[in-house]
Amino acid sequence: MRGGDALVAGSEQPSRAGAHVVEWEVPPSRRFAFVLVLTVMAFSIVIAALGHVRAGGYLLAASMALAATMRAALPEKYCLGLLVRSRIFDVATAAVFAVALAVAAAILPA
């Protein structure tokens, strides 16, 4: 890349050998939903590792519910990382996992 050249998502840049290389740049605003869900998931793992398994399970269920909500409400360009299949399939899958995790956390022995 020459000085002053800016990379655009999906742009082709010639390499030193002359072959074209596709470089991707994703703006942070498009990763927000995915990073938020991963942060809540990581926090739930920390809570569970500290001995509060039921609370960690509920928080993990909440992160899946958050993923389903964000995938349902946000446009596709802001759902990178949450975008797998169709919107209906992604939302239904995350919602089913959220319910299953909440039920599993509820039946854990205290």
More confident residue, 9 or 79: 79
SS3 (DSSP) at 17? coil
Closest by CA position to 93, among listed 103, 84, 106: 84
For position 77, what pLDDT does the model report?
84
What are the residue boundaries of the structural domains of the chain, listed by start? 28-107
SS3 (DSSP) at 44? helix
For position 106, what pLDDT does the model report?
95
How many whole angstroms separate alpha carbon 30 and alpha carbon 45? 25
Cross-strand pairs, 22:
12
Average pLDDT over residues 78-104: 92
* DSSP structural state of residue 110: -
Average pLDDT over residues 102-110: 90
pLDDT band at 6 (very low <50, low <70, confident <90, very high): very low
Q: What is the pLDDT of residues 11-47, one digit of tens each?
A: 555 556 666 666 667 777 788 888 999 999 999 999 9
For position 78, what pLDDT does the model report?
81
